[in-house]
Amino acid sequence: MSESLKLSYTVDGGDFVSAGKASEGVKRTLKSIGIDPAVIRRIAIAMYEGEINMVIHASGGTAEIEILEDKITIVLQDKGPGIEDIEKAMQEGFTTATAAIRELGFGAGMGLPNMKRYSDELKVESTVGVGTTVYLSFNV
Amino acid sequence: MKVSQIAPLIDADTVVAGDGKKEVSSVYAGDFLSRVMGKAPADCIWLTVMANVNVAGVAVLAEIPAIVLCEGVKPDEMLVQKCLSENIALFTTQKSVYECCKLL
């Protein structure tokens, strides 16, 4: 691959039915270009967590994916309420999701921890009242 | 064990047959979707009482070929449709999660 391949998605907020469309699209693309299935699984799950976070907390956002020769990067950006304490949000089980969200099976407080678990690099930038940007990188 | 061999073991009804020839190598039980994505291995049988469409979304992304809805839980229609389109097996059983774990 001499040039990078870029994908771009808009994630709708509050829509739990179509949530995951972007991650599934990325998964299909990576499969079609022959990326290692184990790597695809890590990417798909990490990105889904990010997508769900934007649906739950931020009334949606955008996902930009870049596929390079040696790595795949994902930037998830939203204009949501921001994260007050990123360190706390990184702890397994910490959640600010409502009971209604938890009844759907989301809001277990595993979103960012799973993104960290499955990515090779995770960076979270957030400003309360402005929004959050999550950078994920995967070595391939 | 193959996906097609699951139903008789736990007295399950087959809602979606999925890929019957697919080998499953373990069982994971859980309802919080992120827990499942964090801990369930690929190619497992997933036992749960969650029945919304996101269950199939998680199965697709986590490479889970078979979902069992335990304790008499019925799938919502969108879950069934998504399992059909993604070729994921979907079973329902009256048995508890614990009983299914024992029997599988």
Q: Read off the pLDDT of residues B68-101 as tens digits, 9 standing for 90 and up.
A: 999 999 999 999 999 999 999 999 999 999 999 9
Per-residue model confidence (pLDDT) at position A2: 57
Q: Is pLDDT of A80 > 90?
A: yes
Per-residue model confidence (pLDDT) at position A88: 97
Domain ranges of chain B: 3-103
* B38 to chain A, closest Cα gap in Å: 6
Per-residue model confidence (pLDDT) at position A29: 96
Domain of residue A88, residue span: 5-139
**What percent of chain B clears pLDDT 90, i.e. is strictly above it?**
100
Helix (H) / strand (E) containing B48:
strand B44-48
Q: Write the pLDDT tens digit of every residue in B50-69.
A: 999 999 999 999 999 999 99
List the 61-100 stretch of A: residues with Cβ below 8 A of B. none
Rounded to two decimals, the pTM is: 0.93
Cβ proximity of A57 and A85 under 8 Å: no
* A19 to chain B, closest Cα gap in Å: 8
- Which contacts of A27-36 are long-range, i.e. CB under 8 A and separated by 24 or more positions? A27/B60, A27/B61, A29/A5, A29/A67, A30/A67, A30/A72, A33/A5, A33/A67, A35/A72, A35/A140, A36/A140
CATH of the domain at A117: 3.30.565.10
CB-based contact (8 Å) between A17 and chain B? yes
Q: Which residue of B has its CA nearest to A117?
A: B38
Mean pLDDT of A18-30: 94
SS3 B28: strand
For residue B81, report the phi and psi dihedrals to the nearest 5 degrees: -60, -40
**What percent of chain B clears pLDDT 70, i.e. is strictly above it?**
100
Instruction: Report DSSP state, residue A84.
Output: S
Is A53 designated active site?
yes
Is A102 designated active site?
yes
- Residues A49 and B75: their CA atoms lie apart, in Å, by 23
Q: Do B62 and A110 touch (CB under 8 A)?
A: no
Number of compact structural domains in chain A: 1
Question: What angle separates helix A37-57 from helix B53-61, to the nearest 10 degrees?
Answer: 150
Mean pLDDT of A81-89: 97
Confidence of residue A21 (pLDDT cuts 50, 70, 90): very high
Q: Is pLDDT of A33 > 80?
A: yes
Q: Is pLDDT of B38 > 90?
A: yes
Per-residue model confidence (pLDDT) at position A3: 76
Q: How does the average pLDDT of chain A come out, rounded? A: 95
CATH of domain B3-103: 3.40.1390.20
In angstroms, the Cα distances linking B67 to A39, A115, A138, B12, B46 are 23, 24, 28, 11, 5
SS3 A122: strand
* B35 to chain A, closest Cα gap in Å: 7
- Complex ipTM tops 0.90: no
Is A49 designated active site?
yes
